[in-house]
Structure formats: C-alpha cells, structure tokens
Amino acid sequence: MSESKPMESPPRRDFLKYVATGVGCLAIGAVGGYLVGSGNVTTVTETKTQVSTVTQTVTGTTTTTTTPGGYPTTEEGLAKLIKEAADRYFGLLKDEAKKASIDWRQFEGQVKSLNCSMRQGPDNDIYARMAQVFEEISGIHINLEFTPEVQQREKVSVDILSKTGVYHLPMIDNMHLVKYVKSGGMEGLNKYIEDPKLTDKNFYKPDDFYEMVRKAAGAPPFGAPGDMYAVPSIFHHTMQYYRKDVFDANGLTVNDIDTFDALMQTAAKLNKPSQGFYGYSSRGMRGEGMNIFTWQTFHRGFGGRWFDENWKPVFNEQETIDAIQFYVDLMTKYGPPGVENYDFSATLSSAGEGRVAIGLDCDCWGTLLWNPANAKPPALGNIFSYRVPKGKGGRHAGFFFWSFGVPSGIKSEVEKKATWLWCSFAHSPYGIAAIQAASFLILPSRKSVWDMPGFIDLMPPNDYIKYKVISQTEDSYYDDRPMIPEWPEVGDIAGIALSSALAKERTAKEAADWAQGEIYKIMEKAGYYS
C-alpha cells in the first residue's frame, strides 16, 4: 500500500481527532505504552496532525487532585482511572470470547492477515491493542492503516465502489454507508450473524444496539429490510453543556435552556462581553459535518425538513428560515468574536478556557471537559450536560456513527468470514466497552455497556450519563441528516448557505432560497426526478 501524505489542515469532519492532543494525549500518549504493549501490530500508515488545545500545568503538592465530587483533576489521576477501566474490559472481553461457542481459530492458516483502514483518531492505539488480542485468539494478524479522515474516506470509497477488495476492514462513516450499499459494495451481515459457526449470539448480542443505530446500519432505503450492513463502534449526537457554577450564581437551572426561547433568553442574561465572557458557543465553520452537524438540532427542532415524499427539496419552508434566523441571532449576539469560524476544536477551547456559559456540540464534551488537558478552573469540574433544546418539532440531537462491515470486493468467502469474526469480536458488548473506556470518549453504540461492572465509575459527576442515555433513546434520529448517497453535496450546500447568513452576506430567507435551488440541481442530476 502507498504511503499517505500529511494534510495541510485538519479535515472538516474529523472532530474526534481533536481529542488527540487533549484526552488523546492522555489515553494514547500517557497510557499508550500499556495499550500497545510489545505486540507486533503493523501500522501501515500513521500521519500525525498537530492541533492546538488548552492545557493545565499541574505542579507541586498543593494542586487539587479531585473535583468536589471526587473525580480526578490531574492528567495522572485520570490516566490511572482510564488504565484500570481499560484493563478490566479487555480482560472481560478475552474471558467472554473464550466461553463463546464458535472456533475463533477456524480460519488459521487459510487467512494470515486482514487489512484495516481507519481514520486517524484518539482510539487508534486502542484498536491496535484490540488487534493484538484478536490475533492471540484467532491466529489472524490485522494490518492497521491510520490516515487523516478526508483522505481515508476517499481511499475507502474508491476501494468499496470499485470492489477491488484492498481493505477487508474499512472504517465507514454512516453518512456514506448508503452509497456503498446502493452500489452493491457491502455484504449483508445477517447471513454471518445467523450462522452458528461464525456467531455466538450470547457473545455478540445482535439485538443490543440502540434502535436508531440498527435502522441506520440497514442503510435505508437501499438495504434489504431487516438486514445490517455495518457494525457500529460509536454512536454520538449533539448535547448542550453549561457552566453549573454560573447557573447556580444566577438562580438558573436546566429548565432555562430546555427550549429554544429559554436558551436565547438565558444566553442574553449571561452574556458579559466586556468581561470576556459570552452567553453561547457552537460551530460556525461551514460544512456538512461542521455547522450543519450542530445546526441540524435547530433545523429539525423548529420543524424544518430537507425533502418532501418525492425527494423534492423543501429547504426554504418557513420553519427552515426561522431555524437559520434563530441560529444567526444566537451566535452573533451572544457568541465570542470569530464564532463564525469555530470548529469542534474552537468550541471545545472556548468552554474549557471558561469563556462561555452555554455550548452545543458533540456529546463527547461530557468527558472531554472534565479532563485537565482540555479544561482549567473555573470551568474544570463545573461543566455539566443536558439534552438539546426542544421546539415545535421536538428535540433532535442528530446522529452519527463510525462502523465496520464486510465489503463485497473481498476476494474469497473465507476472507469474508474471517473479516466478520473481527467485526463481531471487536464490536461485541465487551469489545465496545473496552474501546470506550480506553479512549475515554464514552459513546457506546450498545445499550448493555452502561450496565457493565464499574463502567459508570468512569464517568464524571456532571449528569452526562443521565442525559446521554435519554438522548440516545429519545432525541436521536438517524435521518436528521438524510442518509442518501448525495448527502455530502447537499450538506455542503446547506453549510455554505448557513455560513453566508451568519456572515450577514444573505438574509435567512435568501440563504434558504439559494440552497433550495442548488439542492434541487444536485438531486435532479442524480436522477431522482427522471
């Protein structure tokens, strides 16, 4: 395989990568030696990306080592907590795999290795450890290739769509899964799940995934009804975050950010620009996975739609215009200077530095902002979690997962079956728990992970578990961003429209009307109206 070339700047959607110098340094750097160990895992490509983060220097014996809730506030203390949890779940994974009724070594000698393509992220070394454990029980080596996300997606797309079979295990963004399934590039997984020689259902637990995860993994409307085409490794969405100490001092509670109207009023009340403190922060940088990933909460919450029943765009309906205007008002009136260019990293920093009262971004903030590598006093230990606001369209937290499946282009049936063994092993309940604990992102795609022994002890005392579980079951919809092959183009057009409204280059209505016309052209070219 060819070497990957470093990218000049971080890709738009690579939000998890930003953790690499924050919690990533903790989970991969400080704990990295124990994660990888001395095994012979092959890394074909690994390109490092430099990202600026907020750090807290911990010195001397007078440094506070825990929050008032007893949670560690030093990198050393958090590393110890993560190491203990990761060791626990990797141990349980091996124990449970040994009890399974299938022969993990049934393809030893027939399949020597499998090629895995992953986007660069804070879980890379954790997957290296997972590959090492899998080789111990199966005799099959995993060649891991880590590549920046945009480049990784391009390479994977070419491989899957052309069915060349270079990668047995491509890491797949759920928003791109549908085009692979529509092209016939992915195998349905039910035939492997239902084969007792390949799957012990007591070990794999196929019904343990969240409902929306299962639906999205079926790649509707292009997948066969009831089948799955990918095994999700993480499941995330948006959540709100707020400074509890600031809320307490002003007599506020989560009820004051429960609706869009209440959110606007509270952001206005807490906005103190003369003191360098702002009411609200979220992503302003344009892109289908940047401002649109967070704005979808406003769009669908206001009752907006993307398409009608005939796939005609309805992006300039009044609900969408209202959602654009509300977002623009909230961001420009109560956001920090330069918020129109904020990406995941900037929103994380603004919260961790203690410059904002309320934020809306990825659910993984729930753990990241209790990490002293990403937050410092007074924010450290005071950033709490809550559901997204509700409007006349309800609550819409959005939806996203990374996953693995079995590409149709794999050359032999034996290799396909061996590929499935890895998928079912690494993404079994205890496999997911091990990945989540070791990466400290805590975005499980499986319901049972929360009930595993000691898992909740890994969580900071900031209501993250409570509202994360509610959001996973009640607020997340796989089609908040429509899962269609044309989504990347459609989403980027919407991102440009939203960005132009935020920059006051267009009114909300002008932005919506422009996007309406451009989206129609995309869908017409794709053959939806022929």
| DSSP assignments along 189-224, one per residue | SHHHHT-TTT--HHHH-GGGB-HHHHHHHT-TTTSP
Q: How far is 62 from 284, CA to CA, in rounded Å?
A: 39
Counting residues of the chain whose pLDDT is more than 70, the rounded percentage is 87
The answer, yes or no, to whether residue 45 has pLDDT greater than 70, is no
* 26 vs 244 pLDDT, higher one: 244
CA separation for the pair 111, 315 (Å, rounded): 50
- Whether 166 is covered by a domain: the verdict is yes
Q: Is the dihedral of CA 94, 99, 101, 106 positive or negative?
A: positive
CATH number at residue 352: 3.40.190.10
Mean local confidence (pLDDT), 208-224: 93
Residue range 40-49: average pLDDT?
A: 37
Report the b/e string of 499-524 with b at 16+ CB within 10 A.
bbbbeeebebebbbbbbbebbbebbe
Q: What average pLDDT is seen over the chain? A: 87
Residue 291 in domain: yes
- Name which of 421, 269, 285 is nearest 358 in CA terms: 269
Q: Within a domain: residue 55?
A: no
Q: Is the pLDDT of residue 49 over 60?
A: no
The token duo for 246 is: 């600031």
**Sequential DSSP letters for 120-142:** --TTHHHHHHHHHHHHHHH--EE
Q: Are residues 267 and 167 in the same domain?
A: no
Which pLDDT does position 58 carry in this prediction? 29
Q: Is 30 part of a structural domain of the chain? A: no
Same domain, 391 and 414: no
| Domain span holding position 119 | 39-46+71-234+401-462
* 249 in the same domain as 332: yes
Maximum C-alpha span of the chain: 72
Check if the beta carbon of residue 317 is closer than 8 Å to that of residue 248: no
Statement to judge: residues 218 and 119 lie in one domain? yes
What pLDDT, on a 0 to 100 scale, did the predictor assign at position 406? 98
> Do residues 143 and 255 both lie within one domain?
no
Q: Specify whether the CB–CB gap between 306 and 490 falls below 8 A.
A: yes
What dihedral angle (degrees, nearest 10) is formed by the CA atoms of 446, 432, 176, 528? -20
Looking at the fold, whether 176 and 300 belong to one and the same domain comes out as no
- The 3-state secondary structure of 447-461 reads HHHHHCCCHHHHCCC
Q: Please indicate, yes or no, whether residues 516 and 376 belong to a single structural domain of this protein.
A: yes
* Pair (278, 356) in one structural domain: yes
The count of structural domains within the chain is 2
Higher pLDDT, 31 or 197: 197
In a domain, 16, yes or no: no
Within-domain flag for 19: no
Q: pTM value?
A: 0.84
C-alpha 343: how far from chain center: 14
Per-residue pLDDT for 482 more than 70? yes
Distance CA 283, CA 281 (A): 7
Q: Does any domain span residue 165?
A: yes
Q: pLDDT tens digits for 90-101?
A: 999 999 999 999
Neighbours of 8 (CB within 10 A): 6
- Look up tokens 């499998």; give the residue: 114
CA distance 148 to 14: 8
How many other CB atoms sit within 10 Å of the CB of residue 404? 23
Query: Are 370 and 282 members of one domain?
Result: yes
pLDDT digits (tens, 9 = 90+) for 315-357: 999 999 999 999 999 999 999 999 999 998 999 999 999 999 9
Q: Roughly how many angstroms between the first and final C-alpha of the chain, as a whole number?
A: 41
pLDDT at 6 over 70: no
pLDDT at 222 over 50: yes
Q: For the segment 505-519, what is each residue's pLDDT rounded down to a tens digit?
A: 999 999 999 999 999
Q: Are residues 76 and 153 in the same domain?
A: yes
* Separation CA 498–CA 323 (nearest Å): 10
Task: Give 524's pLDDT tier (boundaries 50, 70, 90).
Answer: very high
The H-assigned helical ranges of 40-148 are 75-99, 124-138
SS3 content of the chain, % helix, strand, coil (to 5): 45, 10, 40
Same domain, 137 and 266: no
- Rounded Cα gap, residues 433 and 239, in angstroms: 21
- Residue 167 falls inside a structural domain: yes
Are 82 and 225 members of one domain?
Answer: yes
Give the mean model confidence (pLDDT) for residues 220-225: 92
